[in-house]
Amino acid sequence: MFHQTKLKTFVLLAILVGLIIYTMNGSYFGRELVVEVAILAILAISVDMVSGYGGMVSLCHGAIFGLGAYAYAAVNVLMGGPPALAVVAAIVAAFTFGFAVGAVTSRTRGIFFIMATLAFGQMIYVMIFDSKSLGGDDGMWGLTRLDLSAIGVNLESGVQFAIFSVLCIGLTYVVAALILRSAFGRTFSGIHENEDRMRALGTPVWKFKALAFGLSGSLAGIAGALAAQHTMFVSPELVIWTFSGEVLIVVILGGLGTLVGPVLGAVVMVFLKHEISNITTYWHMIIGILLIITVMAGGRGIYGGLEQYLARRAAKAAPASGAKTDA
Amino acid sequence: MLKVANLCKSFGSLVVTDDVSLHLEKGERRVVLGPNGAGKTTLFNLLAGEIAPSSGDVFIDGKSITSLPVEARAHIGLSRSYQKNNLFEGLTIGENLSLAAAVAMGLSGSLLRDTHNDPELRKVVTDVAAQVGLKDMLEMQVANVSYGNRRQLEVGLALANGPKVLLMDEPTSGVGPSMISAFHGLLKTLPRELTVLIIEHDMDLAFDVADSITVLNYGKVVFEGTPDETRASSLVSEIYLGDWDDDA
């Protein structure tokens, strides 16, 4: 069950502030990394919401993300709509698809659920790849970014776009946290803990799973809209299922079911990948080894490990200080 | 309040519920007795909707609920506790009760209210916790509390769910005498309009709290009467204690 602890707030703010400082002082390439972190982090938050808190391990969030990007492009390029409308379209399309996947798969569990999400994701991929109007394997280009000149922000500027992306992480986190701490979110966690009892208490389980998957999907749609604006170009590569796997790795690396852990995981993944690929082309192997170590160490992830370490230290310190007052 | 009409359930050729009919008035306390394998828990599963009957009907307030799924029956006010603890192990006792109370109060789907800090809901949670003797343990993780406390929470979940008809499946199974007597006390504090159906092995408890007693054997209702009639019945003692004539 979700609790917004002080440690979570601290880690989240530290990451956001760190990324903004890095953006201001970084090079063009550094800003690219920051936007990459932001997209991955938002997607990881949306996956953690359903996988970490609801046990719905998804292999279609990459596709939902791609669907969001394509919805953005379709409204923006094909229909000539303004970017603001395109963002709404991305969120609505991602929500609708997520809700449908959640509703259809609500009775399946475990491996069958995972495979079903993979199949749904592949459906989107094939549809996009085969669709002439969406550009087929060429994709679509000529996308424009949101116009925020009304509040003095110019997203055409690399620095401002990177900072905007970082703020989107914060926004997504707050939305996910509010959902998880609402009565709805708590019931959703209850379903994860004991689905049969939750049903026996009078909960229509499928509705909760479908809505949670839809809401999580809409967050993935935000990531998609951000990615579309970043490259100003969409291609079927955005929808490839292995991206869903990469996001799951980020979530597990950072800490499944911690919400802030996935953000941390995204930072680690992107910067580590960048650093290691300077040294060797086998960076996948290093990430793989890191993942195995994380899982073998109890599966708490980086954030979970940090939380445990601090809790142990506090527990050690407590009796020690108690002894002092006794003496 | 609760009416069961000619309920049957068979698994293949094995008949586990054989033409069971019951009628409970509003506020009635009925104890179901019967030896192991008599079909008591199966009867509860049929009433709660966890399995579908082969034939027969279940009514609440005169309305048939036979075709309703589990969650819809719970919404009408049919709440149950389980013989084997069926809790939210990873959560605290308070969180467990909050989940049940939120459903009963129609809040569980709200995206805006944080039920954890909702004063109205917290009151229900603390009241129920006090009722089942878990008042000071709200922050404890279920996985870390004793078996006896879990039995208390099992009943607590059913109570927090806002029942009109409460089904309790051996609430005192596996607990010590002190907790059994505490449970006697709890039953007497329940609102008088609440209809209660209890499966129980403890005869003393059964005779003490019941308005009426139903005895099941081989899936059939073999006896129905007041506690006094049950105590005097040779049939019931035969089922429970065996037929001693052969040994004489």
Nearest-neighbour CA in chain A from B247: distance (Å): 47
Among residues A238, A234, A230, the alpha carbon closest in space to that of A64 is found at A238
pLDDT tens-digit profile of B121-147? Answer: 999 999 999 999 999 999 999 999 999
pLDDT, residue A260, reads 97
Cβ of A200 and B48 within 8 Å? yes
Please give the C-alpha separations between residue A97 and each of A32, A59, A86, B110, B185, in angstroms, as whole numbers.
29, 14, 16, 22, 53
Residues B3 and B96 in one domain: no
Report the distance separating Cα A320 and Cα B81, nearest Å. 44
- What DSSP element (H or E) covers A222? helix A205-231
Domain membership of residue B245 (yes or no) is no
Confidence of residue B247 (pLDDT cuts 50, 70, 90): very low
Residues B90 and B189 in one domain: yes
User: Is the sign of the CA dihedral A83, A85, A91, A92 positive or negative?
Assistant: negative
How many residues does this entry show for chain B?
248
Domain membership of residue B5 (yes or no) is yes
Residues B54 and B133 in one domain: no
Report the distance separating Cα B105 and Cα A187, nearest Å. 13
Residues B105 and B189 in one domain: yes
pLDDT, residue B242, reads 64
Residues B11 and B48 in one domain: yes
Q: Which residue of B has its CA nearest to A194?
A: B88
Which of left, alpha, beta for A143 (phi over 0: left; psi -120 to 50: alpha)? beta
Kindly state whether A289 is in contact with chain B, defined as any CB-CB distance less than 8 angstroms.
no
pLDDT at B163 over 70: yes
Residues B118 and B164 in one domain: yes
pLDDT, residue B34, reads 87
CB-closest option in A194, A201, A207 to B103: A201
Report the distance separating Cα B244 and Cα B227, nearest Å. 23
Cβ of B99 and A186 within 8 Å? yes
pLDDT tens-digit profile of A207-246? Answer: 999 999 999 999 999 999 999 999 999 999 999 999 999 9
Q: Give the single-character DSSP code of B57.
A: E
Report the distance separating Cα A258 and Cα A8, nearest Å. 8
Residues B63 and B82 in one domain: no
Q: Point out the least confidently predicted range of A216-220, A258-262, A303-307, B228-232.
A: B228-232
Report the distance separating Cα A143 and Cα A80, nearest Å. 10
pLDDT at B26 over 90: yes
pLDDT at B111 over 80: yes
pLDDT tens-digit profile of B68-80? Answer: 999 999 999 999 9
Residues B55 and B83 in one domain: no
Residues B92 and B189 in one domain: yes
**Spatial contact of B183 and B168, defined as CB atoms under 8 Å apart:** no
Identify the top-confidence range among A10-19, A143-152, A269-278: A10-19
pLDDT, residue A327, reads 36
Domain total of chain B: 2
Chain centroid, CA B111 distance in Å: 31
Q: Is A225 helix (H, G, I), strand (E, B) or coil?
A: helix
What are the φ and ψ backbone dihedral angles of B26, each rounded to 5 degrees?
-60, 130
Residues B164 and B189 in one domain: yes
pLDDT at A192 over 90: yes
Among residues B217, B207, B224, the alpha carbon closest in space to that of B240 is found at B217
pLDDT tens-digit profile of A34-62? Answer: 999 999 999 999 999 999 999 999 999 99
Provide the CATH number for the domain around residue B128. Answer: 3.40.50.300
Question: Looking at beta carbons, which residues of chain B come within 8 Å of A197?
Answer: 86-88, 157
Please give the ipTM for the structure prediction: 0.90
**Spatial contact of A48 and A262, defined as CB atoms under 8 Å apart:** yes
pLDDT, residue A320, reads 57
Domain coverage including residue B8:
1-24+41-69
Residues B61 and B86 in one domain: no
- Percent of chain B past pLDDT 90, that is, above it, reads 67
